[in-house]
Structure 1
Amino acid sequence: MAIAQTADFDEYVLEVEFTAGSGTFAKVCGLTDFSVSRTNDTGSSMVPDCADESLPYYIKRAVTSQDISISATGVWALANHADMRDWWGAGSTLNVRVTNAAVTASGTAGDPEVETIPMILTALNNARTKGQVVTAEIELQQNGAATVTDIPA
C-alpha cells in the first residue's frame, strides 16, 4: 500500500510582516489553528442553442476575480498582543506569508511553496472562560495581488 505524503501540522506556517516592507516575517504565537480559503468569483451568461432556441440555455462562466481569506483561532499570547492590536487599530494592509514547509523539504521544481498575500485584519476577537486562558479568533481578507513563489528549477 502506498500512503500519500502529506504536510504535518507544524509544516504549514502562517507569518505576518508586522513592519511593512521590512521583509521580516514572524509567526503569530498562540494561533494554533488556521484555514486558508481561496475562491474564484465568477460571472455567468446564458447562451442559447442556435439550432433549437426552445432548448434551455447553456450557462457560460468566466472567472472575474480571485480572493484569499484566512481564519485563525488559538490562545491570546502576549508576545503578539501589541502587534495584533496595532494592526487592527490602524486598519492597514500587511503582508501575510503562508509556507508549506513539506513542499520546501520534499517538493520538486515548480511546486508552489510560499504565498505572500497583502491582507487586512478584518476581525480580532477574544474570549474568556473561567478556568481557561483567553482565546483569540481572527479573520484576514486579501487586499491586493498575491504572489506565489515556486520551488526553483
Structure 2
Amino acid sequence: MVKPVSAEFQDFVLELETATPGTFAKICGITSRGISRQTNLQSSSTPRDCEDESLPLEVKKSVESSEVSMTATGTWASQSHEMMLDWWYSGAKKNVRLYHANAAVGDTEYETGGAYLTSLGNEVEKGQAVTASIEIQFDGVPTRTAKVEAP
C-alpha cells in the first residue's frame, strides 16, 4: 500500500514582494489561507437538430476567462501592519507568490503574479487579539514555476 503525501500548513505559504525586487516575505500572523482558481464560461444556445426545430436547443459552453484569487485570515501582527495598510490604501498592484513547499521536482512550486489587495478587514473581541481577513485578486493568471532539482 502507498500512503498519500499531504501538504501541511507550512507547505502552503502566501508571500508578498518586499521593497527589494525579487525578494518575497510572508505576511506575519496569517493562520488560514486559501486559493481559488475559477474558469468563467460563456453559453450559446444552438439547435440540436436542424430538421426538427421543435426539439429544445442545446447549450454549448466555451471558456471566456480564468481568474485566481486568494483569501487569508489570522492575527493582525504588528510586523505586517503598515505593509498591509499601505498596500490597501495605495490601490497598487504588488507581486504575490504562493509557495508550494512540498512540491515534487517538476511540479508547480510557485504561482507568482501581480495582484491587488481587494479586501482588508479587522475584528476584535474583548480579551482577544485583533484578527485580520484579506482578499487578493491576481491581475491575470499567475505564472507557474516548476520545482527544479536541488544542486
Common fold by TM > 0.5: yes
Q: Which residue of 2 aligns with 1:44?
A: 43
SS of equivalent residue, structure 1 residue 46: strand
Tell me the distance in 2 between the aligned counterparts of 1:134 and 1:33.
Answer: 15
Counterpart code for 1:34: R
Give, in angstroms, the shift of residue 120 of structure 1. 0.6
8 Å contact from structure 1 (residues 16, 26) kept in 2: yes
Give, in angstroms, the shift of residue 148 of structure 1. 0.8
Q: Which residue of 1 aligns with 2:66?
A: 66
Tell me the distance in 2 between the aligned counterparts of 1:84 and 1:73.
Answer: 13
Gaps of 5+ in 2: none
Gaps of 5+ in 1: none
Tell me the distance in 2 between the aligned counterparts of 1:93 and 1:128.
Answer: 28
8 Å contact from structure 1 (residues 15, 25) kept in 2: yes
TM-score by length of 1: 0.90
Q: Which residue of 2 aligns with 1:129?
A: 125
SS of equivalent residue, structure 1 residue 70: strand
8 Å contact from structure 1 (residues 18, 83) kept in 2: no
For residue 114 of structure 2, the aligned residue among 118, 129, 142 is 118
TM-score by length of 2: 0.91
Tell me the distance in 1 between the aligned counterparts of 2:51 and 2:17.
Answer: 57
Give, in angstroms, the shift of residue 152 of structure 1. 4.3
Counterpart code for 2:40: D
8 Å contact from structure 2 (residues 39, 67) kept in 1: yes
Give RMSD over aligned pairs: 1.6
Tell me the distance in 2 between the aligned counterparts of 1:108 and 1:116.
Answer: 18
